């Protein structure tokens, strides 16, 4: 994969560059999905596409909670009924303690589902050599395009510099 990217000192210049890249991508037959942004803090401002981010996580968590609740019920009720111990007249499966166990495992289900969903949705951990620049954690915003056609290289480099990039670099992991 060949990529070219610019490091921008602030959100304004990065936003301009992003806009220009998006405009240029149709003209230069580039895949708009290959545009990458990286930053050291979440970019929730307009122009960075935060509103278009969609995830199933808020739906998965209640689902995980239901699974957890069912697991709690299974743990208390099925196991105690399968191996009934003498309880001196008390019910084998008591409602309130079962309820408490179900409650705790419901919440645990939601928590574990969120963690797993986070891991899957972000694709972390991923230690492969990927497009990245340590300057990102120095506060720079990285805006670039990752499927690079070598013809457009010069034009893209110019575009990035024009919109305020401090540096323009290339990346290849081929």
Partner 1 sequence: MAHKWGMVIDLDRCTGCEACVAACHAENNIATVNADQAAKGRTMHWIHVERYWEGEFPNIRARFQPVLCQQCDAAPCEPVCPTYASYHNPEGLNAQVYNRCIGTRYCANACPYSVRYFNWFNPAWDKPLHLQLNPDVSVREVGVMEKCTFCNQRILAAEIKAKAENRELQDDEVKPACVQSCPPTAMVFGDLNDPNSQVSRMSGSVRATTLLEEVGTLPKVTYLGRESSHGNE
Partner 2 sequence: MNNAAQANVIDFTPEKIRKDLLLPVFHTSRRYYALVIALVAIGLPGMFVYLYQMSEGMGVAGITRPVFWGFYITNFVFWIGISHAGTLISAILRLVNATWRRPVTRCAEAITVFALAIGAQYPIIHLGRAWLFFWLIPYPSERGIWPNFRSPLVWDFFAITTYLTGSMAFLLLPIIPDWAMVRDRATGVRKRIYTVLALGWRGTPREWHRLEVAMRIMAVTILPVAISVHTIVSWDFAMAPVPMWHSTVFGPYFVAGAIFSGIAALIIVMALVRKALHLEEYLKPLHFDNLGKLLLVMSLLWIYFIIAERLTVWYGNEPAEMAAFWSIQRGRFAVLFWTMVCCNFLIPFPILAIKKLRTIAGTVIASSTVVVGMWLERFLIVVPPLEHKYLPYDWGHYSPTWVEITITVGTCMGMILLYVLFAKFVPIISIWELKGPQHAKPIAVTANATLSPAAIRLDNTLPSTNS
- Give the one entry of partner 1, partner 2, none that residue 29 binds, where binding means its C-beta sits below a cut-off of 5 to 8 angstroms depending on kind: none
- Residue 74 is a binding residue for partner 2 (CB under 8 A): no
Alpha helices in 37-94 (DSSP H): 57-73, 79-82
Give the DSSP letter of residue 85.
P
In the complex with partner 2, the residue whose CB is nearer, 24 or 112, is 112
In the complex with partner 2, the residue whose CB is nearer, 106 or 163, is 106
In the numeric block, which tokens belong to residue 147? 């499927």
Computed from CA positions of residues 87, 91, 96, 102, in that sequence, does the dihedral angle turn out positive or negative? positive
Give the DSSP letter of residue 78.
I
Q: Where in 86-125 is the site for partner 2 (CB under 8 A)?
A: 90, 94, 97-98, 100-101, 103-105, 107-108, 110-112, 114-115, 117-118, 121-122, 124-125
- Residue 86 is a binding residue for partner 1 (CB under 8 A): yes
The whole-angstrom separation of Cα 25 and Cα 142 is 17
Residue of 26, 27, 29, 58 that binds partner 2 (CB under 8 A): 58
- Residue 21 is a binding residue for partner 2 (CB under 8 A): no
Beta 35-38 vs 141-145: how paired, if at all? antiparallel
Which residues contact partner 1 by CB under 8 A? 85-90
């Amino acid at each position: 994969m060949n990529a070219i990217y610019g490091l921008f000192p602030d959100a304004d210049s990065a936003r301009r560059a992003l806009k220009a890249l998006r405009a240029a991508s149709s003209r230069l037959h580039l895949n708009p999905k290959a545009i990458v942004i990286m930053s050291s803090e979440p970019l929730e401002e307009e122009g960075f596409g935060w509103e278009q981010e969609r995830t199933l996580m808020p739906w998965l968590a209640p689902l995980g909670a239901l699974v957890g609740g069912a697991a709690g019920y299974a743990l208390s009720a099925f196991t105690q009924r399968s191996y009934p111990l003498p309880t001196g007249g008390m019910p084998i499966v008591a409602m309130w303690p079962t309820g408490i166990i179900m409650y705790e495992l419901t919440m645990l289900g939601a928590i574990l589902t969120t963690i797993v969903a986070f891991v899957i949705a972000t694709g972390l951990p991923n230690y492969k050599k990927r497009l990245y620049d340590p300057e990102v954690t120095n506060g720079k915003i990285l805006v670039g395009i990752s499927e690079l056609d070598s013809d457009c290289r010069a034009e893209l480099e110019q575009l990035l510099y024009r919109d305020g990039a401090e540096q323009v670099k290339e990346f290849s992991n081929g």
